[in-house]
Structure 1
Amino acid sequence: MLIRKIIALSLAATAIGCWSMSAKNSDSRSVNAETDATPFATPKPKAAPTETPASSSTTSTSNMNATGTFYDNLPKTLSRPTDDVSKLLLREYGSVFVTKATPPAKIVFEDEADVSAFQKSLTRDSSSIGGYTVTLQKPAMDALKAAIAEAQKSGLSIGPRGGDSSMRTYAQTVTLWSSRVRPALAHWSAAGKISKADAARINALSPFQQVSEVLGLEEKGMWFAKDFSKSIIYSVAPPGTSQHLSMLALDVKQFDDARVREILAKHGWFQTVSSDLPHFTYLGVNESELPGLGLKKVTSGNRTFWVPDI
């Protein structure tokens, strides 16, 4: 099955992150897809992180059952995933669902109206930080400001990487997705792997509907990443899945400074996507509490990530 292939690849390649469309403003050029020369560049695979403590990684969704501590801590209103795609997305970057702020209402938001309705239900705060407007849920913003104040006492700065480092719209995730899907459909159609009629049909679908179609084609070896050599999920996130939609994520400019990471963690901000180094997620608890929420510690490059233990 495709999902089994993708999960197996995820142990030796990158997982999806939240690529920024304003990365040209970044001062780091070797982090992830958002720092490549083009705004929609594909991230390069890297070695899998080491889990601490050791755990048995799986290569099949048959072991990704909706039971255990992580699932016990999910919002009661969140429907537990039954399909392989949703299970994979939850495993890859579902840590946000155990936040003490308001978690996403769904694993995948369906469209702009769906996202907008959720965002309007949230209490948010906007502030100018590092020359950019940062918009987050209020508890996340309060914690960020506290972290910034503490950092300043040590002569450190904490700020966003660009203008889209915090809250994002559904349209932004669609733009990224389409930048992969359309060229790939044209490529595989020209190669005779898919008919022009079928390519046109998929192009006409909503982004939400395209996800299963694209993954179905990838199961047949028609990869949708930028260079057509790997799955689209290692290039961009499917529309409606970004943590930024819930205003609980921030791409931090000073992500490479261990002192900054320590201060952010002290104030409830943690790294939760091992392939997206600038990305921090507001969970709002002490680090010692994270295992009790069903998250496991993963270490890579002297960095600590907290991911769902499923």
Structure 2
Amino acid sequence: MQPSTLHANRKTVLRLSQTLLAALLLSLSLACTNLWSSNRDANSNSRNSRSPSQPAHTAMNSNFASSLPQGFHIPDQSDAVGRRLLAEYGAMFVARGGAQAPPTVIFADDAEVSRWQSSVRTTREDMGGMTMELQAPAMAALMQARNEAQAAGLKITPRGSDAARRSYTDTISLWLSRVEPGLQHWTNAGQLSQQDADRIKRLSPRDQVSEILQLESRGLFFNRDFTRSILSSVAAPGASQHLSMLAFDVTENDNPSVRKILAHHGWFQTVISDTPHFTYLGVSEDQLPSLGLKKVTNGGRTFWVPDVE
């Protein structure tokens, strides 16, 4: 072979090798880019699909959705707190029997609560020297239950002066009664910095909700004994069923006969672990599944909660 031919062949091989190497590097670069993009999207989806303290509910029972009031604002997937509160307290939104449910999961402020409460027909009754106020159909059913209990030698009495209607300010006071001791407890335990505790204290009660639920996702709970979620003890500000005037806290809640009488008149337990709390749903128990509620047994009691997953 002539030297010139050999030299030309070497140049051809070199160019071919360079081309193949460039193609290989380009393929590797594209593969890495796609992998990074996939991981980024997966992480983004994971963040968007989780609530501050538990997985966000992505599916809703069709019966529950169709039973919500017309114009009701269902929290979207980006509103993890709203969806958590709907799961915790949402049974009241499908109340029947003439009850009127609020149009939103959480009221924004005192003015919004006052406007809505003033638009609903209510009834007041004296119970043991305490004035109780509820929506008129709920109060009528409660008085019937009280009469039935009395005929059976039982009592159904309010568990305190705030057992029925509450104001937005009431819900803030109850919320802070758990938040402030909880922040102090976890700071003393070395689980929360004083700087973070002070920052959370400076937030509005409404803005504190997501922060507290984030802490609870780490196991820093805010109920009275710091072993369970704050939502098992008090409602988030603006989210209490008592604002709807469809809730009543019963002193004699431990008595199964009392619970049976209340259920006979449309009053059911709907907030798991809040044992004195009853909600007026205005239907018989066998109708509750058709409204998208599911039965949960806890501590020997039956609770009816939204069937969301």
Settle same-fold status: TM greater than 0.5.
yes
Equivalent AA in structure 2 for residue 65 of structure 1: A
Instruction: Give secondary structure in 2 for the equivalent of 1:304.
Output: strand
Partner of 1:10: none
Partner of 1:87: 83
Describe the superposition over 1:106-163 as per-residue Cα deviations: whole angstroms up to 9, x where unpaired. Answer: 2111221121111111111111123321110000011111112222222222221221
Structure 1 residue 284: Cα displacement: 0.7
2:143 counterpart (128, 142, 145): 145
**Does residue 68 of structure 2 align to residue 74 of structure 1?**
yes
Partner of 2:283: 285
Describe the superposition over 1:177-230 as per-residue Cα deviations: whole angstroms up to 9, x where unpaired. Answer: 22233344456667484463x544432332112212333444566554455565
1:128 counterpart (126, 129, 141): 126
Residues 224 and 142 of structure 1, relative CA distance in 2, 3 Å threshold: closer
**Does residue 243 of structure 2 align to residue 245 of structure 1?**
yes
Equivalent AA in structure 1 for residue 53 of structure 2: I
Figure out how many residues of one structure are paired with residues of the other and give that number: 256
**Does residue 229 of structure 2 align to residue 182 of structure 1?**
no
Q: Is the Cα contact below 8 Å between 1:3 and 1:88 reproduced in 2?
A: no
Equivalent AA in structure 2 for residue 127 of structure 1: E
Residues 123 and 217 of structure 1, relative CA distance in 2, 3 Å threshold: same
Equivalent AA in structure 2 for residue 6 of structure 1: S
Q: Is the Cα contact below 8 Å between 1:297 and 1:307 reproduced in 2?
A: yes
Distance 1:227 1:267 in 2: 34
Distance 1:139 1:267 in 2: 11
Task: Calculate the aligned-residue CA RMSD, in Å.
Answer: 2.6
Structure 1 residue 65: Cα displacement: 2.1
The 5 A counterparts of 1:1-310 are 6-7=53-54, 60-61=55-56, 63-66=57-60, 68-82=62-76, 83-100=79-96, 101-185=99-183, 191=190, 193-194=192-193, 196=195, 199-219=197-217, 223-226=221-224, 231-310=229-308
Distance 1:96 1:252 in 2: 17
Distance 2:297 2:229 in 1: 24
- Percent identity of paired positions between Structure 1 and Structure 2: 51
Q: Is the Cα contact below 8 Å between 2:271 and 2:277 reproduced in 1?
A: yes
TM-score in terms of structure 1 length: 0.73
Q: Is the Cα contact below 8 Å between 1:177 and 1:237 reproduced in 2?
A: yes
Describe the superposition over 1:289-310 as per-residue Cα deviations: whole angstroms up to 9, x where unpaired. Answer: 1111001122234432211111
Q: Which runs of 5+ in 2 are unaligned?
A: 1-46
Q: Is the Cα contact below 8 Å between 1:249 and 1:281 reproduced in 2?
A: yes
Q: Which has the greater radius of gyration?
A: 2
